[in-house]
Amino acid sequence: MNKFSIIFPAILLVFLFSCTRKTNELKPISIIPQPVTIEQQEGYFEINKKTRIIYPIEKNAKQVAEYLKEILKKSTGYELAPGSSNNEKNTIILNITGKEELGNEGYELKIVKDKIILSANKSNGLFYGVQSLLQLLLADIFNQQQVENVKWNIPCCNIYDKPRFPWRGMHLDVSRHFFPVEFIKRYIDLIAMHKMNIFHWHLTDDNGWRIEIKKYPLLTEAAAWRVDREDMHWREVTPPEPGEEATYGGFYTQEEIRDVIAYAAQRQITVIPEIEMPGHTSEVFAAYPELSCRGEKLYVQPGSYWPNTDIFCAGNEDVFTFLEDVLDEVMELFPAKYIHIGGDEATKQEWEKCPKCQDRIKSEGLKNEHELQSYFIKRIEKYLNSKGKLLIGWDEILEGGLAPEATVMSWRGFQGGIDAATQGHDVIMCPTSHCYFDYYQGNPDFEPLAIGGFTSLKKVYSFNPIPEELNEVQSKHILGGQGNVWTEYIATPEHAEYMSVPRMTALAEVLWSEKDDHNWESFQVRLQDQLSRFDQLNVNYSKGSWKVNIFPIMEDGKYKVELESEQFDAPIYYTLDGSEPLAESDIYQSPLMIDGSTIIKAGLFVDGELQEYASEKEIVFHKGVGKNSYLKEPPSRKYPARGAMSLVDGLKGSDNYRDGYWLGFQGTDLNFEVDLGKEETINTVGASFFQNTGNWIFMPERVTFEILDSDKKMIAKNILIPDATSEVKGTIIEDIKAEFDVIVGRYIKVHAKNIRTIPDWHEGAGSKSWIFVDEVVVE
């Protein structure tokens, strides 16, 4: 073979290869979270081995440049050399400007064929500009190894961007399960790529103390370790055997903590430490039992500890000395201006019995144990303030009176946040309904075991941290929101990733992008590109729920049934005769007209295969279905179903009260009315009620059914008392049905009286009770 015959095919191959380089040239720009404005222009800037970078010498800006260089080097193999002049071609310029409206975190990105100019007031903004820049490239840019045959093109465009909220957080509980530093950094990387800026590190709780405190070595020698019960269900663990070694756990040394904080700072993330008090502290009493009211030496809990009765003694001065010493070391380590002190779920029964705590109540002139908690938190706040730090606590710190400067993290719903903002306090919203990423995100039958609940991706995307109850001034106190990842049921980094993303992606857009720019369909499309980025990073993200939701709607005054799923672009096939859906069944295109009782079964199909399982709902027609209906008082924001119409949609709630069909009322009654449209004969009117007292849901005290004629004159009334008493454990669904001797009427009213206050024997005594109701059946 002559030389030419070798060289020519080689040249041809190189030529063909370069022609087939992967490119983003036909892809639309897809950035998550959605920027304020993007204007795309003709052409591309191409990163190649001659591309240069120019950046300010200021330390933080330099760190951003280093971060960009490192990512580009990994996947492209190019080491960007420093440029010498802003006029040089093929240059990326990071530029600190003084454009007030951009704030600390906004940025502007101008990309033309031979230059990229990224401008911001601060390194924070530069960092977010870099995140957008990376998302303008193919997802391969995130690969951890050098990728060949990719054209590293960036579409010419102008982007103007800044965040909606200053607090865009993710939390991680490392007490219930310990996660190594390597994962903490990976989690921080995920937070950073979402333009989020807070990592809330839940460092202490009943299942292990995770931060080295030099003055109290037993915290990490004893309180960080528990006996290994990882093979058991969290709620069914057995206590330590005599002599059994505590081998499960771990902690972060102060050096590791400094390293994590520095790593986060390079990514513009502030690390907020949480040191729990006065409750959720039983692990401390494995090391220093004298600090609890009972003074008994405990073991570190290897699983569920509930009710969590052991608590710091609020009457013992040594407790405050201990906490101030601990906080001194924490404040020395963490540069953040906030310290989170927990404050949630502090069970007060030991305080009620403890002579020292009772003495404190007397000497301080406090009314009760709630005020004692308030005394405790205020005292800690004063200490933190004296060192120039601010206190954050969970919304329970409102009980007994808020500490003067405290910021409230509202988790039990929105109300705590509303109350705090109304009192002029700053608030971070993280209600369980939208922000608890330890809850299920898909059908529990097909998901790893979780703590319960149901917070789907779409639910997270629907989160609005600013409740309507707040006026403009009060709304300014809502700093933002945060996703919480509690780890009772999450033992590995892979599982923590699975629970966190892509719900973190939805939350990031909620918190970064303006409300008017939130658009579920657009998000779903852009999410596909984000998932490609996760693939490059080997992130174990959740593929989401393969569930078809079956919901009735009223469209053009007609009752119809809508089938929807959170899966992007997968067709839904359905049947109406009770048979299993197949790829040959009808494909769903628009809401279905239904005019009689039927069973709907529907599933998602990919390549002709049913995914996971088909959803199923029975629609039972009765005289009320699809008729105009009203609720005098709205249901709880947490359990609104689809409002009044859900009570006359022919669909019954399941044995899960969170399924979206049940309406929940907390502390208030059900007052419902349906208009049959004309006078009809009526035999019976019934309604279903749900009870699960463990979840604070009780049967109503009584249910009143009234029939009214066309002039709204009452013509019959029936009052019924549920059979189920509140002593019955577990879930009961009771159909309460009033019989009428054939009567002719048009309007029907249903009033269910809530018992309103949880009875004394119950752990939630004194709090507002729930009632849950579904289908009002008229026959």
Binding site for ligand ACM (CB under 6 A): 344-345, 394, 411
Cβ proximity to ligand ACM: between 396 and 566 the closer is 396
Q: What is the DSSP letter of 333?
A: H
Partner residues linked to 399 by β-bridges: none
Do β-strands 702-708 and 714-720 pair in parallel, antiparallel, or remain unpaired?
Answer: antiparallel
Of the ranges 105-113, 209-217, 305-313, 718-726, which one interacts with Zn ion (CB under 5 A)? Answer: 305-313
Per partner kind, with CB cut-offs from 5 to 8 A, the member of Zn ion, ligand ACM, none near residue 663 is: none
* Minimum CB distance to Zn ion, residue 424 (Å): 32
* Minimum CB distance to ligand ACM, residue 411 (Å): 4
Q: Which residue is nearest to ligand ACM (CB)?
A: 344
Cβ proximity to ligand ACM: between 394 and 512 the closer is 394
Which residue has 């200490």 as its token pair? 383
* Minimum CB distance to ligand ACM, residue 641 (Å): 25
Rule CB under 5 A: which of 756-775 touch Zn ion? none
Which residue has 């449209």 as its token pair? 677
Task: Of 134, 133, 207, 214, give the one whose Cα is nearest residue 177.
Answer: 207
Partner residues linked to 521 by β-bridges: none
Taking the C-alpha atoms of residue 422 and residue 398, their distance in angstroms, rounded to an integer, is 12
* Minimum CB distance to Zn ion, residue 319 (Å): 8
Cβ proximity to Zn ion: between 313 and 602 the closer is 313
* Minimum CB distance to Zn ion, residue 770 (Å): 33
* Minimum CB distance to ligand ACM, residue 684 (Å): 43
Do β-strands 549-555 and 586-587 pair in parallel, antiparallel, or remain unpaired?
Answer: unpaired
Task: Of 334, 234, 227, 360, give the one whose Cα is nearest residue 275.
Answer: 334
Cβ proximity to ligand ACM: between 413 and 635 the closer is 413
Residue 293 sits in the site that holds Zn ion (CB under 5 A): yes
Q: What is the DSSP letter of 514?
A: -
* Minimum CB distance to ligand ACM, residue 693 (Å): 20
Do β-strands 115-120 and 107-112 pair in parallel, antiparallel, or remain unpaired?
Answer: antiparallel
Taking the C-alpha atoms of residue 223 and residue 210, their distance in angstroms, rounded to an integer, is 8
Per partner kind, with CB cut-offs from 5 to 8 A, the member of Zn ion, ligand ACM, none near residue 315 is: Zn ion
Cβ proximity to Zn ion: between 49 and 367 the closer is 367
Residue 278 sits in the site that holds Zn ion (CB under 5 A): no
Cβ proximity to ligand ACM: between 344 and 371 the closer is 344
Per partner kind, with CB cut-offs from 5 to 8 A, the member of ligand ACM, Zn ion, none near residue 293 is: Zn ion
* Minimum CB distance to ligand ACM, residue 342 (Å): 8
Rule CB under 5 A: which of 512-541 touch Zn ion? none
Q: Which of 315, 416, 431, 722 binds Zn ion (CB under 5 A)?
A: 315
Partner residues linked to 682 by β-bridges: 743
Taking the C-alpha atoms of residue 152 and residue 717, their distance in angstroms, rounded to an integer, is 74
Query: For residue 95, what are its two tokens?
Result: 């530029």
Per partner kind, with CB cut-offs from 5 to 8 A, the member of Zn ion, ligand ACM, none near residue 345 is: ligand ACM
Strand stretches in 516-645, DSSP E: 549-555, 558-564, 572-575, 586-587, 592-593, 598-606, 609-610, 615-619, 628-631, 641-644
Give backbone dihedrals phi and psi of 110, rounded to 5 degrees, phi first.
-120, 120
Cβ proximity to ligand ACM: between 394 and 588 the closer is 394
Longest dimension (CA), the chain: 107
* Minimum CB distance to ligand ACM, residue 272 (Å): 14
Cβ proximity to ligand ACM: between 426 and 509 the closer is 426
Per partner kind, with CB cut-offs from 5 to 8 A, the member of ligand ACM, Zn ion, none near residue 154 is: none
Q: What end-to-end distance do the CA atoms of the chain give, in Å?
A: 92
Of the ranges 264-272, 290-298, 364-372, 620-628, which one interacts with Zn ion (CB under 5 A)? Answer: 290-298
Per partner kind, with CB cut-offs from 5 to 8 A, the member of Zn ion, ligand ACM, none near residue 461 is: none
Strand stretches in 380-539, DSSP E: 390-394, 407-410, 427-429, 478-483
Task: Tell the burial category of 578 from Cβ atoms under 10 Å away from its Cβ (0-12, 13-18, 19+).
Answer: exposed
DSSP 31-48: -SSPPSEEEEEEEEEE--
Which residue has 């349906």 as its token pair? 674
Cβ proximity to ligand ACM: between 344 and 618 the closer is 344
Residue 684, H or E segment: strand 670-691
Q: Which of 227, 287, 354, 697 binds Zn ion (CB under 5 A)?
A: 354
Taking the C-alpha atoms of residue 686 and residue 693, their distance in angstroms, rounded to an integer, is 22
* Minimum CB distance to ligand ACM, residue 602 (Å): 35
Taking the C-alpha atoms of residue 66 and residue 263, their distance in angstroms, rounded to an integer, is 13
DSSP-derived 3-state class of residue 744: strand
Q: Which of 111, 313, 377, 403 binds Zn ion (CB under 5 A)?
A: 313
Inter-helix orientation angle 123-136/59-76, to 10°: 20
DSSP-derived 3-state class of residue 734: strand
Which residue has 């502007």 as its token pair? 108
Per partner kind, with CB cut-offs from 5 to 8 A, the member of Zn ion, ligand ACM, none near residue 356 is: Zn ion
Per partner kind, with CB cut-offs from 5 to 8 A, the member of Zn ion, ligand ACM, none near residue 187 is: none
Inter-helix orientation angle 520-536/503-512, to 10°: 130
AA identity, residue 708: L
Taking the C-alpha atoms of residue 494 and residue 539, their distance in angstroms, rounded to an integer, is 8
Chain centre distance of CA 168: 12
Query: For residue 380, what are its two tokens?
Result: 């800690």
HSE, CB side, 13 Å, CA atoms: give it for residue 430: 25
* Minimum CB distance to Zn ion, residue 406 (Å): 23
Other C-beta atoms closer than 10 Å to the C-beta of 428 total 30
Of the ranges 168-176, 314-322, 326-334, 629-637, which one interacts with Zn ion (CB under 5 A)? Answer: 314-322
Give backbone dihedrals phi and psi of 474, rounded to 5 degrees, phi first.
-65, -35
Residue 357 sits in the site that holds Zn ion (CB under 5 A): yes
Cβ proximity to Zn ion: between 319 and 600 the closer is 319
Per partner kind, with CB cut-offs from 5 to 8 A, the member of ligand ACM, Zn ion, none near residue 411 is: ligand ACM
Active site residues: 205, 280, 345
Cβ proximity to Zn ion: between 126 and 372 the closer is 372
Cβ proximity to Zn ion: between 73 and 353 the closer is 353
* Minimum CB distance to ligand ACM, residue 230 (Å): 22
Q: Which residues bind Zn ion (CB under 5 A)?
A: 293, 313, 315, 354, 356-357
